Structure 1
């Protein structure tokens, strides 16, 4: 098993697209429809990575990421925003700081891009084994140029 990913997106088609692509690569995938559901299930799921859409009802991706980061039980879990380009503009919050996430992946994305990002953030090689000596402080994948 390559790891467990919690995929959070209000669009069922996108959730299924991400789920299928990651399961084909050996990842276990659990899905949630929005940030509130994510926060309800994250402790039971114990994912190796959480992917969040930016624009969701009830609790958006940015606020969900902030809550995951502020909780000692989940702050260690890598978080990636998987969202449309136009939504990245608000990723830094109202004060313009960097978002509390480890990577940004723009929709539409190539499945191979998604898999590469997930492997890097979960520290897994192509065969599913943890990579020895994987640095935790690497530059986030998928950040827009000139950040």
Structure 2
């Protein structure tokens, strides 16, 4: 087992996508924790203290936008890099994300190599 490249919290209500992201990041050397929606993410984030959070936008209970806003407004979580993974990356969405402070976007379906590259950049690796 090599050096851990960083911690990633993967947040998606779709189990298949959660697994896909987890496996790809894990193989690359990241320590991965998962959450099933935004509320689950907020419940875990202080225990995990990830370097990067991948956030789906459309989720039950708490969507990606609201989750991102809450993470950005929290003193202990405002520095965490946020990667929004969404089926809808329109210009409006990107503007909204920038205003919240989202660091990067990936559009579903995404290329696993691109996912790894973006997470590596965000984690500063």
Fold match by TM threshold 0.5: yes
User: Which residue of structure 2 aligns with residue 111 of structure 1?
Assistant: 112
Helix, strand or coil for the counterpart of 2:61? coil
SS at match of 1:114: helix
Unaligned runs of 5+ in 2: none
Question: How much does 1:83 deviate?
Answer: 1.2
Q: Which has the higher contact order (CA 8 A, sep 6+)?
A: 2
Contact 2:89/2:105 (8 A) holds in 1: no
2:10 is paired with a residue whose SS is: strand
Describe the shift of the 1:48–1:119 C-alpha distance in structure 2 as closer, same or farther (beyond 3 A). Answer: same
How far off is 1:97 after superposition? Answer: 6.3
Q: Is the CA contact 1:62–1:91 (under 8 Å) kept in the aligned structure 2? A: no
Residue 75 (structure 1) aligns with: 78
Structure 1 residue 26 displacement after superposition: 0.5
Alignment of 1:56-75 (within 5 A): 56-75=59-78
CA RMSD of aligned residues (A): 1.7
What are the ranges of 5 or more consecutive residues in structure 1 without an aligned counterpart? 125-147
Report the structure number with the largest CA radius of gyration: 1
The corresponding residue for 2:31 is: 28
How far apart are 1:98 and its partner, in Å?
Answer: 3.4
Q: Which residue of the other structure, out of 13, 34, 55, is the alignment partner of 1:52?
A: 55
TM-score, normalised to structure 2, is: 0.91
Query: What is the SS of the residue equivalent to 1:85?
Result: coil
Partner residue, 2:5: 2
Give the structure 2 partner of residue 122 of structure 1: 123
